[in-house]
Structure formats: C-alpha cells, structure tokens
Amino acid sequence: MPDVLGPTITAVETTTVSGRAKPGLKVRGQRVTHDASTFTLVRVVTDEGVEGFGEVSATAAWSGEDAVTATHFVRDLLGPALVGKPLAPIDAHATEFDRVLRGNWFTKAGVSTALWDALGRTRGVTVAELLGGPYRREVPVKISLSGDDDELRVGYETAFALGFRSFKVKVGRDPDADVARLALARDLAGDDALLGADANGGWTLAVALETVPRLAESGIAFIEQPVHPDDLEGLRDVRSLGIPLIADESVYSPADVGRIARLGAADIVSVYVGKSSALERAVESARLANELGMDVVIGANGEMGIGAAAQLQVACACERISEIPHGIIGHHFYEDEPTLKTPLDIDGLRARLPDGPGLGVELADEVRIRFSS
C-alpha cells in the first residue's frame, strides 16, 4: 500500500509522568545522580482513530532537555509541524524536526516513538517489523550499579533479587575509589558474572590510561566512555590497552558513528533511542557501526515503560547487536512505575519483544486519561 494513501495526523498531545528510582538502583554517575525521573509522554492520533505513544526520556545533564522543554517543543513546534500531515513516511518528519528545532534529540525521539507506534497499530505489525526486523525476539540485559561500600552492596542485592546477573559499574571520579568499587562488585557478583565499567567521560586521558588496567584486574568485559565525549583520540588511545571500548556520550548520530570508526576510537558504540532523535536513525547508526566493523549495545537513560518498549523494538530491528547485554531494564529501575497496564517481560536476564502491534504495550488507564481527548 503506498504511504500516500495512509492516515493523516490529527492531534499531538503531551502529559508528564514521574517515577522514583529504587534506592539501591539510583545511578550515581560521574556528573549527576539519577534517582528520579519526570518524563514527557507524547500521544499522536490519526484520522483513522489510531493512537501512538512515545516517551521523552530526557535528563538535563545528558542533552539539556527535560520535561518542561520537551512539553514546550512538542506542543508549540513539533506537534504543529505534524498535524494535517500524512503519518508515513515517518523519516520525513525527522528531517522536518531538524529543520525547525536544533538538538533536542530525546524530545524528537519521543515524538518519533509515538509516530512509529501509531504506524504499527495502523498496519497491525510491530515497530521492529516496520524498521526491517525483527532479527530476534529476546535481548540479553544488564543493569547499572554505583556508589561505594554499603551503597554498592544494597544495589547489588536489589538487582540480584530482581534477577539481574550482568552489571555495569559506574566509575570516572576518584580512581582509587573506582578500583575498589570494581573489586567489591566482582566479589559480590562472583567470577562468572559479566561486569563492565562506565566512566561517563569523567577521567582525563592520563588517569584513564592508568586506571583501566587496574580495573581490568577485576575482570571487566568493557570500558565505556573513559574520557570526554569530544576526545575521540583519547578514546582511541585507551582502546589500545586492549579492553573492549564502548563509545557512549561521543555518539549521537550516524555521522558520529562514522567519525569514531575513521579514528578507530571504539570497538562498540552505545546506541540510544533518545540520542538518535528517531527510531529509524538508531537502527541506521547500528547498521553503519556494523558495516564499519564495530559492535552495538543499546544504551539506557532510565526509560519507563514506553521508552523501554521503544528500546526493545529497536534492539530487535537491528541485524546485529553485541553479545554484551543491553540496558533495557524499564520498570525495574523504579519503585513505582505508572505508565503501562502490564509491564514489559524483562526478567533480569532478558527482555522479550511483546506480540502486539506497534510498541506492543498499553498505557495504564490512570496515565491514558491525562491526555485531553
């Protein structure tokens, strides 16, 4: 069916949802602590009465966006740019978003998610299928641990009780404390558990070159973003130590993937729905990374149900993803996560693709009624 005969967008609306992280799981990163989220949800409606939902999983420290800026830009700029337009082709909307709004990747990605959800529901297929997949229906997952001593212990026990067996430990501040944290995490998790370290760009190159070999004594599967996002040569130098290097904050777009590959700056790139600004661009970044000889992990930013469903659909739409587990944890991060009727099937080891059309998830009634119509 030609896209031009498809539905037209009649409304774009927003509401906000908040959730508090489980105390043990709050993420004490190099720059900020993520212990609660207020995210904007987006609803797109078509003239056929189909609706689609998206989540703007934005935090100020990542991209200068939050629920206030997202709500403003969706209501006053991106929404008006969509109303009256055909739903498909969806990539045309991403191009238009870039014309009218610089940056604001996570905001654009939330709207993109709602558009893909609506198209999947219109056609009765999953978003993963619309994006060229699914290549798999299950994705291995890991969770972040942070903090020192008892904080780390409580985090590990919380995560273990939820079923998680693969972990990413936050480092990037004081090297001695970082080394001690990894050693304790290895002690807690045992010799067989997968452990990685994420510095969130917090070290200087000199500190990274000194510290990564010390962390490696605890057996790390990867080192993520050891140096500043702009320091691609630094990433390349740390990579030469021989520990698989993941670029995260350095990679938002397919163009960034190309730059990293040309310099040989990473083994793996962390692809987010949010950083990519559009689901199809996340899949494109992954495809390009593979083509240029790099592996792909799907990264996380405290996504709630809708955001995690988008991560999962993208993970299943990518032809190849890393054997290193991915950051799709959804509701497990939160004490009380209000967005979905039924949470995603994530058991700590794997996230499983839902069967339903679109994102395959249903918004909880108490959230659904906050939209105006």
Contact range with Mg ion by CB under 5 A, out of 24-32, 63-71, 169-177, 247-255: 247-255
With CB under 5 A, what is the number of residues at the site for Mg ion?
3
Q: Which residue from 78, 75, 68 is spatially nearest to 101, judged by alpha carbons?
A: 78
> N- to C-terminal Cα distance for the chain?
29
- For residue 309, is it left (φ>0), alpha (ψ between -120 and 50) or beta? alpha
303 binds Mg ion (CB under 5 A): no
65/198 with CB nearer Mg ion: 198
248 binds Mg ion (CB under 5 A): yes
268/283 with CB nearer Mg ion: 268
Question: Would you state the structure tokens that stand for residue 263, as one six-digit string?
Answer: 């310099």
The Cα 343–Cα 354 span in angstroms is: 10
65/248 with CB nearer Mg ion: 248
CB of residue 77 vs Mg ion: minimum separation in angstroms?
29
CB of residue 3 vs Mg ion: minimum separation in angstroms?
36
Main-chain phi, psi angles of 71, to 5 degrees: -60, -45
Contact range with Mg ion by CB under 5 A, out of 1-9, 242-250, 259-267, 287-295: 242-250
27/42 with CB nearer Mg ion: 27
Which residues in 62-121 contact Mg ion (CB under 5 A)? none
Which residues in 157-196 contact Mg ion (CB under 5 A)? none
CB of residue 127 vs Mg ion: minimum separation in angstroms?
24
Instruction: Rule CB under 5 A: choose which of 198, 256, 284, 337 binds Mg ion.
Output: 198
Q: Which residue from 331, 276, 344, 324 is spatially nearest to 131, judged by alpha carbons?
A: 276
82/109 with CB nearer Mg ion: 109
248/280 with CB nearer Mg ion: 248
Q: Which residue from 143, 53, 106, 140 is spatially nearest to 367, judged by alpha carbons?
A: 53
The Cα 373–Cα 370 span in angstroms is: 9
231 binds Mg ion (CB under 5 A): no
51/198 with CB nearer Mg ion: 198
CB of residue 242 vs Mg ion: minimum separation in angstroms?
20
The Cα 53–Cα 349 span in angstroms is: 26
Tokens 């558009």, residue located: 115
CB of residue 272 vs Mg ion: minimum separation in angstroms?
9
| Helical H segments across the chain, by residue range | 60-63, 67-73, 79-82, 90-100, 105-123, 127-130, 150-161, 175-189, 205-216, 232-239, 254-263, 273-276, 279-291, 305-317, 365-368
Distance of CA 122 to the CA centre of its chain: 25
> What is the x/- site pattern for Mg ion, positions 130-149, by CB under 5 A?
--------------------
Interaction site with Mg ion (CB under 5 A): 198, 224, 248
